Amino acid sequence: MDAALIASGTAVGAVAGAVLDPVGQRLADRSRQAEERRRQERADRQEAEVRTSADGQVPPTDGAGRPAAPVPVPELDPPGPGSPAADRVDGTGRVDGTEDEPVVPEPVRHLLPSGRSVPRTVGAAVFTAALCGLAVARYTGPGHTVSPWVAVPFGVFLAMAVTVSVTDLTHRLVPRQLLFGALVVIVPYFVVLSAHLHEWRPLVDAAVAGAGAFAVFFVIWFAVPRGMGFGDVRLAGVIGVTVGYLDLLHAYLAFLIGFVLGLVFGLVLMAVQSSGRRTRIPFAPALCAGAAITILWGGPLVRHLFHAS
């Protein structure tokens, strides 16, 4: 019976990995295109402001607020020192007194091929199948201390985690649709499982861990927005909810392992690619790896590290 369950979980994981990988690429492509459109709109608005400051007229705009057509700028004599024009426009065409676009560190890209890639999709399917099979074996075999039915939401999370990690390595993006989709399955399942078992403590731990992880990562993102994307903040909340269902120590261990792996991953990339400290390193794979390790082998690690029963 256990062998059949493990085989079924492995097969479902393989299918999920093969399907979700191209879906994640399409979602990341759409997010990247939307980001480029927003960046172009900001550039158009800044250009319109510069033209307005140069000729004192407001150029016509279309319905989206962009200049409707190029507006000829009359030739002007160079402004003298101390004149209003000299105070407003510098030699680079920027308007004095306005903030430039923040200098965002260049992200590490092309760690995996983006778009259509058969080897990448096959690798994601194999990796997801292995993780799902291990999850079923961990929670349906002898020695498990929680309900074997938690293998289902954990399998959903692991499939999502593999796809999110791949998109972060290919596009430096964590599609929120994948995170919300996983939550839509995981949270109601935990509620039903807790009601069925009449055990509400795991559900409370999941809520506390999810809210706490989101809050901590939000503070980090708010304080240092260039060092972490908001997708990592959302991912931290999902990890907290999922791993926190085991207990709060498991959630803490997941993030501890994630931060250690992220540090090692960043150091290796900086050494291999000769990148600087300001280079943005994909953090989602490390967080997901920490969560996966905790889901699969968190029990012995918690007992060994924290001397907990």
Q: What per-residue confidence (pLDDT) applies to 97?
A: 40
Q: What per-residue confidence (pLDDT) applies to 270?
A: 81
Q: What per-residue confidence (pLDDT) applies to 277?
A: 60
d(CA 260, CA 286): 8
pLDDT level of residue 289 (50, 70, 90 thresholds) = very high
Mark 141-153 as b/e (b = at least 16 C-beta within 10 Å): eeeeebeeebbbb
Query: What does pLDDT average to over the chain?
Result: 84
Q: Is 41 among the domain residues? A: no
Domains: count for the chain = 1
- CA dist 148 to 43, 137, 292, Å? 54, 9, 17
Q: Is 56 among the domain residues? A: no
pLDDT tens across 157-210, in order?
Answer: 999 999 999 999 999 899 999 999 999 999 999 999 999 999 999 999 999 999
Q: Is 152 among the domain residues? A: yes
Q: Is 96 among the domain residues? A: no
More confident residue, 227 or 275: 227
Q: Is 52 among the domain residues? A: no
d(CA 145, CA 303): 13
Q: Is 193 among the domain residues? A: yes
CA angle, 298 then 128 then 189, to 5°: 65
Q: Residue 75: pLDDT above 60?
A: no
Output the pTM of the full model.
Answer: 0.80
Residue in 128, 130, 144 with CA at minimum distance from that of residue 298: 144
Q: What per-residue confidence (pLDDT) applies to 274?
A: 65
pLDDT tens across 77-136, in order?
Answer: 444 444 444 343 444 444 444 444 444 445 555 688 888 999 999 999 999 999 999 999
Q: Is 199 among the domain residues? A: yes
Give the structural domain span for 166. Answer: 2-36+110-306
Q: Is 212 among the domain residues? A: yes
Q: What per-residue confidence (pLDDT) applies to 63?
A: 58
User: What percent of the chain is predicted at pLDDT more than 70?
Assistant: 78
